[in-house]
Amino acid sequence: MRLTEERKTLLMEVAVRARKQFEGSPAEEYLVHRGLVPDQLDKFRLGYVDDSAPSGFDKYRGTICVPYLRRGATGIWSVAALRFRCIRDECVRNPDGSFRDSKDEVHVGHGKMQSMASDTPRIYNTEAIVRSSDVIAICEGEADTWTAEMCGIPAVGIQGVNGWKDYFTELFIGYRTVFVLSDGDEAGRGFAQHVAKLLPNALEVPMAPGMDVNRTHKDMGREALLSKVGM
C-alpha cells in the first residue's frame, strides 16, 4: 500500500513524539529486562507512548512505539508503518512488581504486538538489506531483530509466522547465506521450513525448545547466539 504524504507526516510526527518520551521510560526499563542495551538500539528510534499520546493513538498508551524506517533515494528518512509492543504493568509484571518472562505475559483482548488498522505486513529493518554483507538473518519479530543486530548479525524481522509475503523472496536471493533464526516451537519450525523452501540459500537455525533469539541471548549470552550462525 502506497502511503500518502499526509500519512507519512502523521507517522513521522507520532514516532518523533514517542522517541522524545523514551529516555527513562518504562519502555527503556523493559528493554533492559529483556537483556538489551538501549544505547545500542538508537538506530531503531524506539519510543514510548505515554499519557500524552495524540488523538487516535490513545489505545497504544503503555507501549513501545516501533517505527518501520525507510530511507529514500535522496537519503531522506520516512516512517512506513508503526507497530506497538504492549508493556503495560498488568500485562508484563507479576503482582509483586517483577517482570514476567515474555512467554508468561498476559495480554487480554490484544496481542503483544499491535499494528494499526489496514496496515499490511512489512519487512522490519530494511536498512540491513542495503548494507554490504554476504549474509543476513531473518528473525520472527522486532525484538529478535534488535537482539541479532545488537550482537553484530545483520538482520531483518518478519511480523510473525504468517507475515511472509511471496514478493519478499527476491530480496534475499543474492546472499551467500540467509540464516532463518526461528523460535524453538512448532510454529517457528513451520516458519523456517516455509522460508527455506523459497530460498535456496537459506539455512534453518532453530533456537532450543521454548527459546527465541532474544531469550537465547539473555540466558546464554552473545557468543552462544553467534555460535549458532557460525559467526
How is the chain split into domains, by residue range? 5-115, 127-228
> Which residue shows C-alpha cell 538501549?
38
Find out if CATH 3.90.980.10 is the number for domain 5-115: yes
What is the tens place of the pLDDT at every residue in 157-179?
998 778 999 999 999 999 999 99
Q: Helices 213-220 and 142-150: crossing angle, nearest 10°?
A: 40
Compute the distance between CA of residue 187 and CA of residue 11 in angstroms, rounded to an integer: 31
The CA distances from residue 164 to 78, 139, 214, in Å, are: 22, 11, 20
Comparing 5-115 with 127-228, is the CATH topology the same? Answer: no
Position 231 scores a pLDDT of 82
CATH of the structural domain 127-228, one choice from 3.40.50.300, 3.30.70.260, 3.50.50.100, 3.40.1360.10: 3.40.1360.10
The arithmetic mean of pLDDT across residues 20-47, rounded, is: 97
Q: Is the pLDDT of residue 1 over 70?
A: no
> Which residue shows C-alpha cell 549474509?
135
Q: Which of 37-41, 116-120, 131-135 is least confident?
A: 116-120
Position 3 scores a pLDDT of 81
Q: Which of 67-76, 149-158, 211-220 is least confident?
A: 67-76
- Coil, strand or helix at 163: helix
Q: Is the pLDDT of residue 136 over 70?
A: yes
User: Residues 6 or more apart from 73 whose CB is under 8 A from it?
Assistant: none
Compute the distance between CA of residue 29 and CA of residue 45 in angstroms, rounded to an integer: 16
Q: Is the pLDDT of residue 86 over 70?
A: yes
Position 162 scores a pLDDT of 84
